[in-house]
């Protein structure tokens, strides 16, 4: 079993138990009427809904083929104890752990900018700390000879309890490969949602080594993985409504086919929690995608912009 599948199944355990009660009743309610939203916000979500792309029939081995999740409506989302920004807790933190090349530092800064646009919240990239705090018993050599760090050790011994006073979440980033426990080969990352901390590895996202040739592919993957996992920290579950950044995936290949766009339903949830200017967010994301030559995501954002009523000011 791949490390990516292990990662997703570990996350599934967190969400699977809490998502089963009352699901079928809520799913029968259909598209939400957004009773708490302004007319402008309702117009925005109704407009971009037309651009939601239907999910394809899953193939064996893909996430939805192996995991039959019921989905999450806006009403179900609103019933959860949601992590949400307030006057004090408004910042997302990224913590680099280890030594990063100039190109890796560039991809981290780009990710910081993206997450700031995505969540419309301040995102701080902290100064890198050495990974020397990880002892020998939490290190090993992988099957390719690469050094690997034990992800749970980083969570429990370095990140738990380290969330800054104004922080909403803390995500560590490592250039080294990670593993979740001795019997598994690797994992892309691991998170503790109650503690709102997580750690993600760049190692496999960059196909073991980041170069100018694979920079864009690595960036696209890191944007998807980081926004997806932080989305979980905001109580967004895996999306079963349309093609979406919150779709569950079982492999890196499946992730590569996932857009860096929240579907209209998942956008309503994030907006309900963070309350930002929808048009401003979309414009910022569109500009980011263009500046970083992410053509597919730029095209999706452009199509959404074209759907908006000229007077919309969500």
Q: How far apart are CA 12 and CA 266, in angstroms?
A: 18
Span 84-234: which CATH code? 3.40.390.10
pLDDT of residue 40: 92
Query: 299-303 contacts: CB < 8 A, separation 24 or more?
Result: 300/51, 300/259, 300/261, 301/261, 303/51
pLDDT of residue 286: 99
pLDDT of residue 2: 52
**pLDDT tens-digit readout, 97-155:** 999 999 999 999 999 999 999 999 999 999 999 999 999 999 999 999 999 999 999 99
Average confidence (pLDDT) over 181-186:
94
Cβ atoms 281, 120 nearer than 8 A: yes
Handedness of CA 152, 124, 74, 36 (dihedral sign): positive
Average pLDDT of the chain is 89
| 233 Cβ contact partners less than 8 Å away, ≥ 6 residues apart | 83, 168, 169, 191, 193, 196, 198
pTM over cut 0.85 = yes
Q: How far apart are CA 138 and CA 215, in angstroms?
A: 29
Length of the chain: 314
Domain boundaries, the chain: 1-82+241-314, 84-234
295 — pLDDT class (breaks 50, 70, 90): very high
Active site residues: 229
- Strand ranges for 81-235 from DSSP E: 91-96, 123-125, 139-141, 147-150, 167-174, 177-179, 189-192, 197-201
197 — pLDDT class (breaks 50, 70, 90): very high
Strand, coil or helix: 173: strand
């Amino acid at each position: 079993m791949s490390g990516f599948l292990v990662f997703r199944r570990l996350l599934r355990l967190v969400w699977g138990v809490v998502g089963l009660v009352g699901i079928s009743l809520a799913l029968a309610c259909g598209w939400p009427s957004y009773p708490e939203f302004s007319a402008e916000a309702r117009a925005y979500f109704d407009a971009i809904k037309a651009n939601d792309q239907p999910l394809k029939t899953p193939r064996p081995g893909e996430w939805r083929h192996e995991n039959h999740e019921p989905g999450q409506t806006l009403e179900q989302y609103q019933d959860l104890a949601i992590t949400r920004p307030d006057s004090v807790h408004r910042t997302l933190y990224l913590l680099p752990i280890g030594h990063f090349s100039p190109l890796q530092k560039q991809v981290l800064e780009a990710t910081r900018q993206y997450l700031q646009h995505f969540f419309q919240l301040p995102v701080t990239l902290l100064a890198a700390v050495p990974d020397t705090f990880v002892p020998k018993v939490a290190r090993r050599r992988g099957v390719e000879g690469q050094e690997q760090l034990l992800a749970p050790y980083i969570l429990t011994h370095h990140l738990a309890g380290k969330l800054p006073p104004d922080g909403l979440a803390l995500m560590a980033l490592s250039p080294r490969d990670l593993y979740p426990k001795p019997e598994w080969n690797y994992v892309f990352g691991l998170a503790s949602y109650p503690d709102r901390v997580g750690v993600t590895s760049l190692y496999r996202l960059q196909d073991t080594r980041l170069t100018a040739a694979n920079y864009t592919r690595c960036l696209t993957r890191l944007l998807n993985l980081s926004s997806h996992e932080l989305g979980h920290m905001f109580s967004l579950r895996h999306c079963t409504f349309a093609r979406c950044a919150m779709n569950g995936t079982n492999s890196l290949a499946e992730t590569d086919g996932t857009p860096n766009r929240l579907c209209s339903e998942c956008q309503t949830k994030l907006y309900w929690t963070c309350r930002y200017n929808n048009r401003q967010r979309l414009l910022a994301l569109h500009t980011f995608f263009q500046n970083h030559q992410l053509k597919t995501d730029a095209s999706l954002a452009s199509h959404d912009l074209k759907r908006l009523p000229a007077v919309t000011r969500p």
